[in-house]
């Protein structure tokens, strides 16, 4: 408005100050949406990789998941970092790197719990082979499908996509 009305730009400093708080809030929403979108796309790719019969297709899908995880890490959020670790655990499991997958799951669980993401933490714990007691306590009727949705991949005897 100041430009249109011909006012000097110094007059709009009040607008700048008033906008800082809402802008920071919007930045967090935008960042959260960005991270959630990357996580969703990566989980879809991870599920597809677990089902892929062509080795080249599987490798390409897993590279895509790794790229999304790396982008999430660049956002430098505690909860996003934990989601990226969960994605990387799924990649490791799908590649047959069981020990690496378990190590990443443990780190992801710690980060998810610290970020108050109890469901995701329970899924990570469950992927490590622990009981689904938390999920049962939340009346989650199908923990297997919850695992498949939040932590897809080829987990050996639990071949959920």
> Rounded to whole angstroms, how far apart are CA atoms 145 and 126?
12
Give the gyration radius of the chain's Cα atoms: 20
Residue 156 CB contacts under 8 Å (≥ 6 apart), including other chains: 93, 98
> Rounded to whole angstroms, how far apart are CA atoms 20 and 126?
42
User: What confidence score (pLDDT) does residue 20 get?
Assistant: 66
Can you state the angle between helices 13-51 and 78-94, rounded to 10 degrees?
10
3-state secondary structure of 158: strand
Whole-model pTM? 0.81
Q: What is the pLDDT along the chain (161 residues), one digit of tens a residue?
A: 445 555 554 444 555 566 666 666 666 678 999 999 999 999 999 999 999 999 999 999 999 999 999 999 999 999 999 999 999 999 999 999 999 999 999 999 999 999 999 999 999 999 999 888 899 899 998 999 999 999 999 998 543 44
User: What confidence score (pLDDT) does residue 119 get?
Assistant: 96
Signed CA dihedral, 61, 90, 140, 120: sign only? negative
| Residue in this structure with the two tokens 């655990």, named with its chain if needed | 89
């Amino acid at each position: 408005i100041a430009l249109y009305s011909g006012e000097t730009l110094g007059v709009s400093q009040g607008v700048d100050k008033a906008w800082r708080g809402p802008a920071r809030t919007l930045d967090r929403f935008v960042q959260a949406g960005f991270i959630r979108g990357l996580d969703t796309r990566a989980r879809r790719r991870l599920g597809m990789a677990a089902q892929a019969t062509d080795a080249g297709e599987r490798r390409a899908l897993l590279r895509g998941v790794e790229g999304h995880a790396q982008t999430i890490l660049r956002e430098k959020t505690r909860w996003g970092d934990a989601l990226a670790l969960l994605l990387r655990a799924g990649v490791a499991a799908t590649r047959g790197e069981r020990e690496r997958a378990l190590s990443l799951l443990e780190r992801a669980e710690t980060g998810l719990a610290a970020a108050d993401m109890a469901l995701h933490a329970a899924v990570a714990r469950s992927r490590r082979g622990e009981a689904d007691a938390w999920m049962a306590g939340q009346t989650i009727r199908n923990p297997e499908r919850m695992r498949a949705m939040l932590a897809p991949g080829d987990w050996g005897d639990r071949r959920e996509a």
